[in-house]
C-alpha cells in the first residue's frame, strides 16, 4: 500500500469529504482533501530536506493525507477517532503492522490539545498541518467571518523554509494587518506554533516564525 493508493482510495476520500462537510456546517476552515494533500506533501518535504529515507517519507505522506478523517465522526477528539478509523482502514491493506502503528500514532497525536511529537513521522505531520495557513482555506462568506476566518483570510502569502545546515524550520507569512491584528493571530495560533516548536526539536531543529519580514518566534 503506497501513498498514491491511499490518496485515490474512495472510502478514505469519502471520510474526508464527510468530515469537511461537517466542519463547514460548524463554520470551520477547509479540512478537505486539498488540505490533507498539502499536509502530506509538506510533511514529505520536511523529512526529505532533513535527510530521512523514502520509507519514512512515504509513511508521513500517508499519515498526512489521512490525518483529518476523524472529523467525519466529531470535531471533538477527532485525532483519536481518526487514528481508530485509520487503523481499521489500513488493516484491510497489505501494509505491515509496524507501519500501520506508525501512521495511526501520528494521526492520534497531531492535535495541539493533547498531541505529542513521538517520532519523526508525527513531528513532520504536526508541522505540516499547523503551518497550513492561507486565504483559500476560508469557507465562510465575509459576512460570517469569525476570528479563525480572519486570521486565514489575512494571509497573503505563506512559505515554509527548511534549512538543513542551520537546523531551522521557518514559517514565513505575509499578512494584511488591516484584516487581522497580530494579537488575533496569536490568540488562535500560539498553541499551534508552540506545538510546532516542540515537533521541530525531534529533528534537533528550531521552529521559527516571521511575519511581514519580522521575526516573531
pLDDT-derived band at 181 (thresholds 50, 70, 90) equals confident
Torsions phi, psi of 51, nearest 5?
Answer: 90, 20
Q: How confident is the model at residue 126 (pLDDT cuts 50, 70, 90)?
A: very high
Mind giving me the DSSP string for 156-195? EEEEEEEETTTTEEEEEEEE-TTTS-HHHHHHHHHHHHHH
**What's the distance, CA 210 to chain centroid?**
19
Cβ-Cβ contacts under 8 Å for 158 (sequence gap 6 or more): 131, 133, 134, 171, 172, 173, 174
* Distance in angstroms (rounded) separating the CA atoms of residues 45 and 214: 24
The model's pLDDT over 80-114, given as tens digits with 9 standing for 90+, comes to 999 999 999 999 999 999 999 999 999 999 999 99
Q: How confident is the model at residue 185 (pLDDT cuts 50, 70, 90)?
A: confident
Task: Delineate the domains of the chain, giving CATH numbers in brackets.
Answer: 3-215 (1.10.3210)
CA distance 94 to 106: 19
How much is the pLDDT for 146?
A: 80
Q: Is the pLDDT of residue 143 over 80?
A: no
Mean of per-residue pLDDT scores for the chain: 94
Residue 149 has pLDDT above 90, yes or no: no
Per-residue pLDDT tens for 9-47? 999 999 999 999 999 898 888 899 999 999 999 999 999
Written as nine digits, the cell of 198 is: 516542540
Report the pLDDT averaged over residues 158-185: 92
Rounded CA-CA distance 186/73 in Å is: 29
Confidence band (pLDDT; 50, 70, 90) for 139? confident
- Grid cell for residue 7: 490518496
Question: Looking at residues 45-69, what average pLDDT do you find?
Answer: 98
Give which of 59, 41, 205 is closest to 132, Cα–Cα.
Answer: 41
Helix, strand or coil for residue 210? strand
Share of the chain above pLDDT 90, in %: 78
pLDDT > 90? residue 167: yes
- How many helices (H) and strands (E) the chain has is answered by 9, 4
Amino acid at each position: 500500500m503506497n501513498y498514491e493508493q491511499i490518496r485515490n482510495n474512495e472510502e478514505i476520500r469519502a471520510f474526508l469529504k464527510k468530515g469537511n462537510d461537517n466542519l463547514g456546517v460548524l463554520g470551520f476552515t477547509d479540512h478537505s482533501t486539498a488540505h490533507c494533500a498539502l499536509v502530506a506533501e509538506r510533511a514529505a518535504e520536511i523529512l526529505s530536506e532533513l535527510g530521512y529515507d523514502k520509507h519514512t517519507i512515504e509513511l508521513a505522506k500517508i499519515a498526512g493525507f489521512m490525518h483529518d478523517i476523524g472529523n467525519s465522526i466529531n470535531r471533538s477528539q477527532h485525532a483519536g477517532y481518526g487514528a481508530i478509523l485509520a487503523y481499521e482502514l489500513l488493516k484491510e491493506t497489505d501494509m505491515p503492522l509496524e507501519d500501520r502503528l506508525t501512521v495511526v500514532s501520528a494521526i492520534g497525536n497531531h492535535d495541539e490539545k493533547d498531541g505529542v511529537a513521538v517520532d519523526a513521522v508525527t513531528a513532520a505531520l504536526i508541522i505540516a498541518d499547523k503551518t497550513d495557513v492561507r486565504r483559500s482555506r476560508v469557507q465562510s462568506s465575509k459576512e460570517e467571518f469569525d476570528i479563525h476566518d480572519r486570521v486565514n483570510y489575512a494571509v497573503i502569502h505563506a512559505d515554509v523554509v527548511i534549512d538543513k545546515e542551520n537546523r531551522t524550520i521557518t514559517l514565513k507569512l505575509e499578512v494584511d494587518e488591516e484584516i487581522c491584528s497580530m494579537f488575533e493571530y496569536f490568540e488562535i495560533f500560539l498553541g499551534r506554533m508552540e506545538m510546532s516548536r516542540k515537533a521541530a526539536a525531534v529533528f534537533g531543529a528550531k521552529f521559527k516564525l516571521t511575519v511581514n519580514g519580522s521575526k516573531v518566534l
